[in-house]
Amino acid sequence: MVEGREHPNTKEPMNTQELLNTMVASQIQLKEDINLIVQQFQNLKGGQEENKIDHNSPTMEGEKKINERINKVEEMIKRARKMEDLVDYQSLLLFPDVRLPPKFKMPTLDKFDGTGCLKSHLKMYMRAMQPLRATEELLAQMFQNTLTGIAFRWFLNLDDARARSW
């Protein structure tokens, strides 16, 4: 989550994707505002002398709005860059080079919550994945998708070196 940036209505922190979506929406609005100002300027240019500038005109107000929006977009870009600098996304991946086989579809399996029989869960998982010819890396990578609750939290807290070995 990006600290300091909140949803306008819920005050919940925005994630990186939401921040990027907000930036794109702001850029679109900015482009529309610029087009409107250009159109207003062309209309004014035709009806006024070039050396007369009305600082209270709608065009000047529009320019102020655009400058404010530009500043907001620049600030959002700075925050997004800071977020990227803080998080090394490669370090979050167990197997950065693992790729799913073409048309791979994860089998639907019961999730292990830590209270059932782990050995039975592993058998079920391996028997479901074996026909798909999953590599050891893919087996280790996809295993987390079969966990829930405390078992999932345990897996996420494992040292990466242990989680990488199958």
Query: Where do the structural domains in the chain lie, given as residue ranges?
Result: 2-87, 93-166
Question: Rounded to two decimals, what is the model's pTM?
Answer: 0.46
Beta partners for residue 14, in sequence order: 2
pLDDT in tens, 1-58: 444 445 455 555 566 677 777 777 777 887 887 878 877 777 776 655 555 555 566 6
In DSSP notation, 72-134 reads HHHHHHHHHHHHHHH--GGGG-S-TT--PPTT--PPP-PPB-SSS-HHHHHHHHHHHHGGGT-
Q: Is the pLDDT of residue 119 over 90?
A: yes
Q: Identify any residues that bridge with 147 across adjacent strands, giving them in sequence order.
A: 112
pLDDT over 70 for what percent of the chain?
73
